[in-house]
A and B are shown apart, each in its own frame.
Chain A
Amino acid sequence: MENVFVILVGSILVNNFIMSRFLGICPFLGVSKQLGTAVGMGMAVTFVMALASMFTYMVQRWLLEPLGLGFLQTISFILVIAVLVQVVEMMIKKLSYGLYKALGVYLPLISTNCAVLGVALLNMTENYSLLESVMNGVGGALGFTLAITLFAGLRERFELTDMPKWMHGFTGALITAGLMSVAFLGFQGFIR
């Protein structure tokens, strides 16, 4: 159990997906102009990443490895994630229309979010068990949500400040992200 907790804290803070692993930067820069949408995206990603961690683990360990098809990893993971996103979208639409309205726009975007494929591949290279993989997925996604929410808060303030002209747009966003990343660097050495 101790190990699971370490993985969870590790993937939320120490090895934050955006701030130190550089996974999921596209949605991080693209969907962080408003606090509300950032939180919505974070929730959708959390949902998909937890499920993706579970299903890719099953596919890899119970299907590809026994059959000696390890080289099909990339293709099958992409397929699993694409199908998963589609199924999740349909399920949410049927079960809770309110949630669908809130998350719907972000779901298709998630299939090309490299954090989802990234976490699946990391689980395999780190040799995590099923429970550890899911925890890594949940932790990574919560870390993503934390970073994107904080960043959206900062960017909302940006709109009101008088910045030099060359800092407008992506330039300012990248430098702010860099400074935020310095803060996350402070967690290094938190575990091991």
Chain B
Amino acid sequence: MKLGKTFGHGILGENPIFRQMLGICPALAVSTTVFDGLGMGIATTFVLVFSNLATSLLRKIIPEAIRIPSLALVIAAFVTVVQLVAEAFVPALHQSLGIFIPLIAVNCIIFGRAEGFAFRNSPLQSVVDGLGMGLGFTLSLALLAAFREVLGNGTFLGAQVMPASFEPMAIFISPPGGFIMLGLLLAAINLIVRKLEKRAAAKV
């Protein structure tokens, strides 16, 4: 597969959140502010890239039978790195993401890519795949968080963007708002994809 195609897949065609419905837990839990969403996205991307790289390098050494526990350990090791780095350099983020940083280790996207892609592809391909998937995840998270923060709090990245007369709709930063907003965004994206597919079909 071409590298560019591998990269683009993660962002559009196989977007982890909106197309594959993977990694919904962190997406809902840490999308109340754009800052948290971006932080989570970057942390996940880091783990994705390095676990893909390590898996791809080790793919000929790891026996097929014990690949699941081995991959889980590889992923957990990189998650620990992220956890320690975040605690040391961005304590505010470490505080607000809480247990969701160690929980990156059980994020289905990471496991899915390591097992489904990196285990069968070259290191370079795997790194590019990790970057694409990570970017797709980060963008989706930021999009969801942007809607929730602006509507629920009237701010964007902490800066006031809505006029003073705007009454923040607190529902959007509470848990139910997360489910509903993700549902609405998913519907909108499905509609756009269907329109695009129709147009593409009409051209052919």
> Taking beta carbons and an 8 Å cutoff, which residues of A are in contact with B?
19-26, 29, 71-75, 77-79, 82, 111-114, 117-118, 121-122, 125, 166-167, 170-175, 177-179, 181-182, 184-185
Contact = CB atoms under 8 A, between A and B. Distances in A.
A171 B73 CA distance: 34
B80 interface: yes
A26 B73 contact: no
B177 interface: yes
Interface string B173-190: 011111110111011001
Contacts of B196: none
A190 to B, nearest CB: 15
A170 B103 CA distance: 23
Given A22-B29, A26-B22, A171-B186, A181 B176 contact: yes
Contacts of B73: 75, 78-79
Contacts of A24: 25
B79 A21 contact: no
Contacts of A172: 183
A78 B179 contact: no
A25 B25 contact: yes
Given A78-B73, A78-B76, A78-B106, A71 B187 contact: no
A111 B73 CA distance: 13
Interface string B125-167: 0000000000000000000000000000000000000000000
Contact of B99 (A29, A122, A177): A122
Contact of A20 (B84, B103, B175, B186): B175
Contact of A29 (B21, B187, B191): B21
B102 A74 contact: yes
9 contacts: A22-B29, A23-B25, A73-B102, A75-B73, A170-B186, A172-B183, A174-B183, A178-B178, A185-B176
B190 A166 contact: yes
A25 B186 contact: no
A182 B172 CA distance: 11
Given A125-B98, A181-B176, A182-B176, 7 more contacts: A22-B29, A75-B80, A78-B73, A117-B106, A121-B102, A170-B183, A174-B186
Of B80, B175, B178, most buried by chain A (CB within 10 Å of CB) is B175
Contacts of A111: 72
A71 to B, nearest CB: 6
Interface string B47-88: 000000000000000000000110011001101100110000
A155 B11 CA distance: 30
B42 interface: no
Contacts of B25: 22-26, 114
Interface in B3-39: 21-22, 24-26, 28-29
Of A19, A74, A181, A185, most buried by chain B (CB within 10 Å of CB) is A74
Contacts of B177: 178
A82 B21 CA distance: 24
Contact of B190 (A26, A171, A177, A185): A171
A119 B164 CA distance: 40
B111 interface: yes
Contacts of A22: 25-26, 28-29, 175, 178
Contact of A74 (B21, B80, B187): B80
Nearest to A19: B175
Contacts of A72: 80
A113 B80 CA distance: 19
A21 B29 contact: yes
